[in-house]
Structure 1
């Protein structure tokens, strides 16, 4: 994680902006951050998972052998997504050009919004976009049973936080914006709520594991201390692998891969957001 941040800092120094933070070419600056996060995630994920960018397309076609659950639907697609982690070892891709793709929802394991600097207006806006993309990914399990597979892991990631520093409690304010993103949403299930929001070198907000029949999603906050820069990346990898190895998707045991400091409590109970069920 430290190496990722240093690599971005080097990019800023090599292509400096005349004024303000960041590199001179803002568009390239943002794309460089996306590429960095994709590169670092790719190092730690199973070979069958690709870390891509692009769109999710949910066509109104038959699924499984006789699945006609979309017979009253129309074709739907997402907005452009910064990072889509896709199980291309199992599922096909509609279109590919380099790392830019259009993919069906069944193989989407995670959707990540990436910001170079997280600003005040980003939190609610990006959580709403992730909710819409996750809604497209509600799919049934195998053999045309009426069971839904676990939805993709959802995250909002930034290298640095530009959230107004004058606020007395940044984490509580950010959580209020997460809550606002889901107010009034129909079919607001646990799976469609963001799982992680964080400035990788500063703080993390994490959605806790649910009970079997959740009525709310609980969130906790961590302020990264010295030597804890790994927490954000660990949360991301843990969430992605938990979806990939979930028993609704794969019949294999999840490996013991990520680990957190023993006895490290979270710094804040941020609160809960009511949900209509698990998925």
Structure 2
């Protein structure tokens, strides 16, 4: 079957990722509950693990980082002052930022923790060791605000470039209410969060437990009409030989944004800000051409 080698390869990689975490649990077990004893370190370890596996397979210009997105209200491009009436804003701390550092600069970097402008953000992921009901809405809201901060085109919707891929990822799940299917509950949460006036790119693209299941958002037609302007969410339950699907979906979502035709025109980001200080002309020198 076409693609079987890749499916087998990615399945082995996902099983390897999950096995590495189980080693962490084995070495530092919690005597009372599942997982490692130190919950904070438990979560950070999973985050680091997912970051390292993603970094292995992304283009070298894409870095898998953690930190904040800062959207400064400064001049853009050659002389674009469209943000002049806005305020500087920043996101909450984000678990994973996939950032095009080969093209765009960074405000501050401390090892893998960064503060970056929105133009270079390709994807934002929230990572949990265990996905729980109580956290779903809060995490989706944080990703929604991050996506809004990344709206870099002030022009019409038709000209706006594609926003970052958004995902909520876990290596396990414990959805409290067992009386109704998890996919039904998850969709009800998303339906309540996103209204009919939502921007498609602001709506989460993936929620999943890499070891068992995931929900994903299907991409609409490139020229949607009122009849098909809907975000279709799909649910997949994974057998042992199908664990590759979740991780592959993450990679595909990230790469689809990175290579999207609306993002190929590199534009100078808002990166500097000068105070309004009067300057005195001191002279002119003629030149023959710009280039």
Q: TM-score range by the shorter chain?
A: 0.7 to 0.9
The reply on whether 1:174 has 2:196 as its aligned counterpart is no
Distance between the aligned counterparts of 2:64 and 2:143, measured in 1?
17
- 1:153 alignment partner in structure 2: 165
Q: 2:29 matched to 1:16?
A: yes
Q: Aligned residues, how many?
A: 248
Matches within 5 A, 1:92-241: 92-140=105-153, 147-164=159-176, 166-183=178-195, 188-211=198-221, 212-213=223-224, 215-241=229-255
Match of 2:91 in 1: 78
Structure 1 gaps, min length 5: 252-279
Q: In the alignment, is the contact (CA less than 8 A) between 1:33 and 1:116 conserved in 2?
A: yes
Alpha-carbon RMSD across the aligned residues, in angstroms, is 1.9
Is the aligned partner of 1:244 residue 2:258?
A: yes
* 8 Å Cα contact 1:94/1:104 also seen in 2: yes
Decide which moves more: 204-213 or 93-102.
Answer: 204-213
- For residues 66 and 84 of structure 2, the distance between their equivalents in structure 1, rounded to whole angstroms, comes to 28
The two structures have a TM-score, normalised by structure 2, of: 0.82
| Structure 2 Cα separation of the partners of residues 5 and 181 of structure 1 | 31
Describe the SS at the equivalent of 2:159.
coil
With the length of structure 1 as denominator, give the TM-score of the two structures.
0.85
Aligned partners of 1:208 and 1:220 also within 8 Å: yes
Counterparts in 2 of 1:197 and 1:12: CA distance versus 1, 3 Å = same
Whether the aligned pair in 2 keeps the contact of 1:124 and 1:181 (CA below 8 Å) is: yes
Write the distance in 2 (CA, Å) between the matches of 1:218 and 1:52: 29
* Alpha-carbon shift at residue 51 of structure 1 (Å): 0.1
More helix by share: 2
CA shift digits 1:56-108 (9 cap, x unpaired): 00000011112111111000000000000000000000000010000000000
Alignment-derived partner of residue 256 in structure 1:
none
Distance 1:93 1:226 in 2: 40
**Is the contact made by 2:100 and 2:121 (CA closer than 8 Å) also made in structure 1?**
yes
- For 2:39 and 2:134, the matched residues in 1 are separated by 18
2:280 corresponding residue in structure 1: none
Please list every run of at least 4 consecutive aligned residues from structure 1 whose deviation after the TM superposition is greater than 3 angstroms. none
1:50 aligns with 2:60: no
Match of 1:269 in 2: none
Structure 1 CA distance for aligned equivalents of residues 154 and 244 of structure 2: 34
